[in-house]
Amino acid sequence: MTGHEEKFAGGVAVITGAGAGIGSGFARRAGELGMHVVVTDINPAAAEAVAQDIRDKGGKAEAMVVDVSQPAELDRLAEEVFARHGSVRLLINNAGIETIGYTWEIPAERWEATLNINIHGIIHGVRAFVPKMLATGEECWIANLASIGAFGMMPTQTAYMLTKHAVQSFSECLFLEMQLKQAPIHVSSVIPGMIKTSIFDAGAGKGEPAASAGHRKAMHDMMAAYGMDLAEGSRVMMEQIAANKFWVSSQPEMTEQSLAGRIRFFQEQADPQVAEQARHLLEH
């Protein structure tokens, strides 16, 4: 535990989408730091499994079923957590899904789910929790899950990438709003690079066009072969959140490379192009 992370010990952490993936990594790390972890997920069994794992290792955790695509669910979550615990020191708006397919081939239901979970889940998580956080007057932290994809472009991953561009913009503006209010709330934009998770598993693509299966499998295999270990990535990113950093990256060099490419694109005002490695992925 770093000196910065010591500030988290004894506090309450609320993490959405924590039944799997990066959310579960953050939940386990919060438990290791001595936080009481509220593990939320739309899947009750997955949430409870992570909470039980934290408890088995001597930590404190409880599971709650939450569908972040429904604003009322996030209102309920905030009400219940503050009624039970009185404060929240760390809110990680993590829940998200990957959607693959040509824009016009993705069914309306999958489009709406992607937008509601990835964008509205974060917006309404902030809306539901911030007034209560402000009311306590205590120092606390909000981390919103963006992505390395927030600075790039990729055909057939349009739905996911546009949501992450939106999250990055939202977090930047939220950071400024906290400064304007002189609020003791630190805001981070979390930018995972390539981390070994289940986001590209075949079962996660329900509702996608059938033709997307090959791209999903290629991404799954690449992540499995070259991705960063989930526990290590979660530890690295949690350290940065605790240190009040706005830019939180699992692999900073990957973030810097993506930002440099984006800056060149804006400066040159060139036509969008598919990167060579991305073209190879799409063609195979």
With 0.95 as the threshold, say if the pTM is over it: no
Give how far the C-alpha of residue 126 lies from the chain's centroid of Cα atoms, to the nearest Å: 13
CATH tag, 5-283:
3.40.50.720
pLDDT at 284 over 60: no
Sign of CA dihedral 250, 237, 95, 31: positive
Predicted confidence (pLDDT) per residue in 81-139, tens digit: 999 999 999 999 999 999 999 999 999 999 999 999 999 999 999 999 999 999 999 99
Q: How confident is the model at residue 216 (pLDDT cuts 50, 70, 90)?
A: low
The structure tokens listed for 130 are: 């911030």
Q: What is the dihedral of CA 13, 69, 125, 173, to 10 degrees?
A: 130
Catalytic residue among 26, 129, 151, 160: 160
pLDDT given for residue 227 in this prediction: 72
Predicted confidence (pLDDT) per residue in 12-51, tens digit: 999 999 999 999 999 999 999 999 999 999 999 999 999 9
- Do residues 12 and 141 lie in contact, with contact meaning Cβ atoms separated by under 8 Å? no
SS3 content of the chain, % helix, strand, coil (to 5): 55, 15, 30
Predicted confidence (pLDDT) per residue in 150-203, tens digit: 999 999 999 999 999 999 999 999 999 999 999 999 999 999 988 867 665 656
Distance in angstroms (rounded) separating the CA atoms of residues 238 and 229: 14
pLDDT given for residue 193 in this prediction: 87
Is 160 marked active-site? yes
- Do residues 44 and 63 lie in contact, with contact meaning Cβ atoms separated by under 8 Å? yes
Helix (H) / strand (E) element for 119: namely none
% of the chain with per-residue pLDDT over 90: 81
* Closest by Cα among 136, 147, 163 to 78: 136
Distance in angstroms (rounded) separating the CA atoms of residues 143 and 180: 18
Q: How confident is the model at residue 262 (pLDDT cuts 50, 70, 90)?
A: very high
pLDDT at 214 over 90: no
Distance in angstroms (rounded) separating the CA atoms of residues 14 and 36: 9
pLDDT given for residue 55 in this prediction: 98
- Number of alpha helices (DSSP H) and beta strands (DSSP E) in the chain: 10, 7
pLDDT given for residue 226 in this prediction: 65
Predicted confidence (pLDDT) per residue in 233-243, tens digit: 999 999 999 99
Distance in angstroms (rounded) separating the CA atoms of residues 182 and 284: 51
